[in-house]
Structure 1
Amino acid sequence: MVPFKMRGLHYRHLCSITYGPPAPPSRNPPHLSLLADQCTSLHQLKQIHAQMIVRARIHDNFAASRLLSFSALSQSGSLSYAVRLFDSINEPNSFMWNTLIRAQAGSSNPRQALLFYVKMRRLCVAPGKHTFPFVLKACSNVMCIYVSRQVHCHSIKFGLDLDLHVVNGLIRAYSVSRVLRDAREVFDEVPERNLSIWTTMICGFAQNDRYGDAIQLFECMLEDGIAPNGATLASVLSACAQSGSLKLGEQIHAYMEENGIELGVILGTALVNMYAKNGSIVKAKKCFSSMRERNNATWNAMICGLAAHGHGKEAINFFKELEQEKVKPNDITLVGVLSACCHAGLFDYGEGIFHSMKELYSIDPKIEHYGCMVDILGRNGKLLEAEQLIRGMIWKADVVIWGSLLHACQSHGNIDIAERAVKEILLLNPNSHGVYVVLSNMYAEAERWDDVVKLRKRMKEGSLKKTPGWSLVNAAT
């Protein structure tokens, strides 16, 4: 492919350095440098920095690199302090450049990492095999395909495009930018692939809704004799959940049991989610019960799965159990609870949850919560209240929400509100011809034949017709 392609500072507490640039000659032992590796606060680092200046050690790149490493990468450090320290160094070496690019790539402003890389190249500092993975991490966090392609070109120029860490970074950068064609081409061009590269490509497919490709690639990985790890299995289980591949999901679960793979939070949640989404509620509950530790996502998978498959009351019971265990629900949890209330006919309980979201759970209702609430009110016959809720939202209602209100109107025979809902739907999508059919049927049920004739004449004049329905039968089942 051609890409546009770190408590006190006491000498007895010193320990050996296990990473970083090579130590300087033994004639000049780096005692202050070693102390820098034992820092637990920025205040301590500044004291050592001052001593290095006083003892004229600050111009020693090894000593300066230890200060830079702590201030840039430690949770007790300061990235801004690291930048000022870096700027004070006359000739920073590649380790220093890489350290700062690495820190910036994982910061809240990863664009700074890219700017540092540009500065590095303008000063004719050659990037190495450790540079590109950090730069590509910044590309992934920025999600800019054009920058990713430029960095890809640079990796080719320096002969590092087939380095496995660089390849892994390229696949990740292309995948998060949803350019899976380029990601797959990079993957296919690597003569030898390790587990990380297989996993990144499979994750890329799964996270971009290419579930069939994720499953197919996983099968190819197994054929090549590569044993999957937890991240690989979690991604494939996610693909099985979204694509309805219950059989493969069961086989993966069996593989995990046969190989003694521990059911931790991530894998356990992936299994619960896979079984729940595929309607295998008994197995989902069994996996859920066997987990020693659970997080929000685990509870959400169980609650939402139960709600989606008609087990509304059981989903509410799980939510009550969640509250008893002092687990704080998030917005996804409450979408599942509201959906469960809607399907189980627990309208009053659902309204109570919705109106107490901010007060009890510190969660601002999002459009998904409003959509569930409109459905609850509509099923409960509170159509005017549902319409007022829609018009009072801070977001612009979409076709789905107005459509939910329209179908509620059809169920309760409220033509006035239905007409207003149809008008709003057509403003959003003039090609929503199905709403005319719904409204025409409502006129007919109310024996308003003149309105039926007028509406059908309007449909005929506008060459409007109902989109034909279709179904699919799998001959293999």
Structure 2
Amino acid sequence: MLPSVNEPYRFVEQSLFSLLHKCRLSDHLFQIQSQIIIHGLLQSRRLAPKSAIAFFESSNPQSARQLFDQILQPDTVLWNVMFKGSAEAGLHRETLLLFTQMKRRDVRPNLFTFPFVIKSCSMIPARMAGDQVHCFALKTGLRSNLFVGTSLIEMYAIKVGAGLAYKMFEDMPERNVVVWTAIIRAYIAVGDMKNAFNLFNQLEEHDVIVWGTMISAFIEHGDIATAEELFASMPVRDVQSWNTMLFGYANVDFIGACERFFAIMPVKNVFSWNGLIQGHARHAWCSRLGEMDPFVF
């Protein structure tokens, strides 16, 4: 059988795709992009997203946008790459402008679209933009998706507080531990430990992350005793859980408790040692501060 006309292009496309995957230097990236243009593969649905990702990873969002503007009919995958890259680069207004363009072109978003757009809504002072994205998620039937719903809870918690975030939480037909953790964090963020703890206790199945979230919150609010009780009641503790308590003792200058806790840790990693060192450094600083002449300032 004779090879098809497209086979050489597929081989070149695969070769360039592999090069993009390995590329770490901007100069090499531009050379690969030149080859993509020379071989007439600029509109490739495989290479365009990969090129944009490579530009973002090399801290060059401007080139990613220039590439995107040359694509005649960007698909949802490429749009999502642009949303993710722009949001992670802190270009939140750019992300929302891109989302507006996507709607005008009548490109249908998917469940990976909204979290990055919603994140950008959270980071700029524009409540209306967040509400518009919420409405659009409703129209596309994706608001009840756990991935999208969690992002909306986090957005409302940041922009308007826990009240509206809880309404969003209540309206979700399905709620997993990630969603519960998001609403618990919303109450923690506004200092409402009572409601955060009530929600924590209502949750039937806890994972390590929600345990750590609650323990860290009590530590940050100076309630070491409750943090210790929670830690003791954990059915499974990983090294991160142990480190959470260790840093709690270190941050409140309980150097004795910090040392005793470090000694009984079943597993230690570099963060454990950092916690112990931080505890000693803070204790030395606090002791020195206490010895200073109060009128020296």
TM-score with structure 2 setting the length = 0.83
Please name the residue that 1:47 is paired with: 31
CA shift at 1:239, angstroms?
3.0
Q: 2:72 aligns with which of 71, 86, 90?
A: 90
**1:390-409 alignment, distance < 5 Å:** none
Q: Which amino acid aligns with 1:229?
A: V
What does 1:9-48 correspond to in 2, within 5 Å? 28-29=10-11, 30=13, 31-48=15-32
2:82 maps to 1:100: yes
Match of 1:261 among 233, 238, 255: 238
Query: Of 347, 350, 368, which residue of structure 1 is paired with 2:292?
Result: 347
Whether the 8 Å CA contact 1:105–1:141 is kept in 2: the answer is no
Alignment of 1:40-439 (within 5 A): 40-72=24-56, 74=57, 76-142=58-124, 144-221=126-203, 224=204, 226-230=205-209, 232-241=210-219, 245-256=223-234, 258-263=235-240, 267-269=244-246, 271-272=248-249, 276=252, 282-287=256-261, 290=265, 292-294=269-271, 298=275, 302=279, 317-319=283-285, 337=286, 344=290, 346-348=291-293, 376-377=294-295
CA shift, 1:174, in A, is 1.1
Distance change in 2, residues 1:243/1:347 (3 Å): closer
- Compute the displacement of 1:89 (Å): 1.1
How many Å separate the matches in 2 of 1:78 and 1:66? Answer: 14
**Alignment RMSD (CA, Å):** 3.2
Q: Verify the 8 A CA contact 1:140 1:174 in the aligned structure 2.
A: yes
Deviations 1:45-77 (A, max 9, x none): 2112111111111122222222122212x2x25
- Equivalent residue letter for 2:33: H
- Letter of the 1:122 counterpart: R
CA distance 1:317–1:132, change in 2 (3 Å): closer
Q: Compute the displacement of 1:28 (Å).
A: 3.0
Percent of matched pairs sharing the same residue: 24
> Going by fraction, where is helix more abundant, 1 or 2?
2
Asked whether the equivalents of residues 265 and 294 of structure 1 are also in contact (C-alpha less than 8 Å), the reply is no
Look up the equivalent residue of 2:216 and give its one-letter code.
S
**Structure 1 stretches of 5 or more lacking a match?**
1-23, 304-314, 320-336, 349-375, 387-477
Task: Please give the per-residue CA displacement for 1:136-193, whole angstroms capped at 9, x wherever unaligned.
Answer: 1112232543322221111111111101110110011111224211111111122221
> 1:16 corresponds to which residue?
none
Q: Matches of 2:186 and 2:133 in 1, distance apart?
A: 19
Which structure would you say has the larger Rg?
A: 1
Q: Please report the TM-score for the alignment, with normalisation by the length of structure 1.
A: 0.54
Gaps in structure 2 of 5+ consecutive residues = 1-5
Q: How far does the alpha carbon of each residue in 1:251-275 deviate from its partner, in whole angstroms, 9 at most, with x for none? A: 321134x52422468624554268x
The one-letter code sitting in structure 2 at the alignment partner of 1:156 is: L
Structure 1 residue 250: deviation in Å? 2.3
Q: Which has the higher contact order (CA 8 A, sep 6+)?
A: 2
Could you tell me how far 1:41 is from its partner in structure 2?
A: 1.6
CA distance in 1, matches of 2:19, 2:73: 23
